[in-house]
Chain A
């Protein structure tokens, strides 16, 4: 029995080099996360905040040029305890004082080989992923049944094709696809969007992974189908009990499904804590960004009065020129004169406010 979190991310930085700008795009810039066994971690944030790149870094899907990763991603399951980024430090030059990447050495091939050597036993087997667009992510020429069967034969101990097929049918049933035997022989384009997403979930779960990454599983589906997929994921969470990293920009979906929530902005985590605290409107200790995000969702009062929504002024952070100081200070409405100087010049740390709840904001430093 393994104790401690299944996945620990320490100080992860994923940069991309932009040739035209002659600079690094700091998509993920110092992320620390933990996921406990059987729990769901929800990651919310605007587009461009680095949530998908975090997931892709864990999955080892960042291609060497122009991408570069440093930090620690520690996976500890029954069969594997390993830092997924082992040895990657040799390929970059790091600024010792800030920890930022300064330069990539030219050995791209070695980098890619290193990643593949570590990941080939983990990808699909220990960590599997539900992608945003099921129709694009599945092979259009192969029936969904044989895709799932193939995944089972590759990633589990079942090597017999007919047994693997039985297992695939079992998983199709688990995700509530009606008449699985019929659907087994359908190609992805023969299924509706919601069904295809179900098949995708079945495929991800069929290898019985230690960690499931769901990247925007409900985006792009209709409201009625969206709620069904959310219900399905909630049900699977209780029956299968897989550890999940759930990424979404839909706060309602995250609130429904997660135990822990991390709010990301401009490549870092601004707030990390239990879902019911972080995403409830009444909670007192909250990052200004989370509060603003929650306020911009249309609520009953807005709708009744047909009033204006409370928008966050300004735009998403430009991750090439990240300003000094707190990343959110340009758009923050809760800056007081007392802390203004600190907000503009120094970046706060992710500080514990209460048990399990961390916030990266100067507001909570004095209390």
Chain B
């Protein structure tokens, strides 16, 4: 049984929107629950996929795991230690082990630094190395990510998308990471290059025993690379389980809409359910319509079909994430 490398318990991250200078007249500051009571765990050598629409809080989870943004409540246990309580100095050894592959290729690499300096900076920030050691390490890194040595003297702007992505991965590996948060690593890439990057991530996992949190809205890639998948909606996990089951036997109405809306599947009948745009903003927190009870109810086809049962709307009876067997959890009163 593999060891649990990361455990997240009741993680909450609320952003506060200040009221502005007219606060006394227009009401106080507003709270946006970007991540609301999320729990999951990831084992060593395992990949968890995190899917959901824009604004559902997937990237926020990734950022809190790296302590790039402080949490409001909850615990993040990495290697049996709660990292939310650590001071920046105490956190340093963990920073080495948890790294992120950022979504925006161009913003993540300094345009005025050559690739060699980018990698060198990452190598020397935690360890003191001699020049010869640095050269050797850089050579090893390039081999790990299949990058040509001639690219070292180039600037990021001179590389193609796939190469930039590989530099990003190499930099994350440079410090000796064991756990990678991959935030939309393939979203900006073409299919041919996307395949290269996905293969590389799989190879690295096999050879180095890495664990990933794979954040993406490309459902096919998530299903392909992940062992288990969590589906998020408005800051909450609505369904979680093994990748194959989530994709082929979804129990939450939202998951089934999400999967059936793949352009490739052409299932016009099923997408009709989701084409109703009249009901609330898509996946984004709406102040005018505070969510009481089930958050998905306003868009839910099951809620509609069952004649709008009151249980879905009652604040005190908000659905809980309940286990329905085989490590499959779903947050719904009427699972499919």
A residues neighboring B (CB under 8 Å): 46-48, 176, 178, 192-195, 218, 222-228, 230-231, 249-253, 256, 292-293, 296-298, 302-304, 306, 308-312, 315-316
Contact = CB atoms under 8 A, between A and B. Distances in A.
B263 A227 contact: yes
A181 to B, nearest CB: 15
Given A192-B282, A223-B217, A311-B199, 19 more contacts: A46-B192, A46-B193, A47-B190, A48-B160, A194-B277, A222-B282, A223-B262, A227-B263, A227-B271, A250-B263, A252-B262, A293-B192, A298-B198, A298-B220, A298-B221, A306-B225, A308-B198, A312-B196, A315-B163
A311 B218 contact: no
Contact of B274 (A47, A228, A310): A228
Contacts of A310: 195
A107 to B, nearest CB: 30
Given A223-B218, A315-B160, A296 B192 contact: yes
A308 B202 contact: yes
Interface of B: 53-54, 160-163, 190-196, 198-199, 202, 217-221, 223-225, 244, 247, 257-258, 261-264, 266, 268, 271, 274-275, 277-278, 281-284
Contact of A231 (B191, B257, B275): B275
Contacts of A230: 263
A312 B247 CA distance: 27
B274 A256 contact: no
Contacts of B221: 298
Nearest to A179: B278
Given A227-B271, A303-B224, A297 B263 contact: no
A312 B202 CA distance: 16
B281 to A, nearest CB: 6
A303 B278 contact: no
Contacts of B258: 223-224
Given A194-B282, A251-B191, A310-B195, A222 B160 contact: no
Tell me the interface secondary structure of chain B in the complex.
helix
Contacts of B281: 192
A228 B271 contact: yes
Contacts of B54: 193, 222
16 contacts: A192-B281, A192-B284, A222-B217, A223-B262, A224-B53, A227-B261, A227-B271, A228-B271, A228-B275, A249-B190, A250-B263, A296-B191, A297-B191, A304-B244, A306-B224, A311-B195
CB-based closest 9 A-B pairs: A309-B195, A311-B195, A296-B195, A311-B196, A312-B192, A46-B190, A227-B261, A252-B264, A224-B261
Most chain A CB atoms below 10 A, which of B193, B195, B274, B275:
B195
B53 to A, nearest CB: 5
Contacts of B282: 192, 194, 222, 224-225
A223 B163 CA distance: 26
A247 to B, nearest CB: 13
Contacts of B244: 304
A100 B278 CA distance: 54
A176 B272 CA distance: 13
Nearest to A305: B224
A223 B190 contact: no
Most chain B CB atoms below 10 A, which of A228, A302, A306:
A306
B216 to A, nearest CB: 10
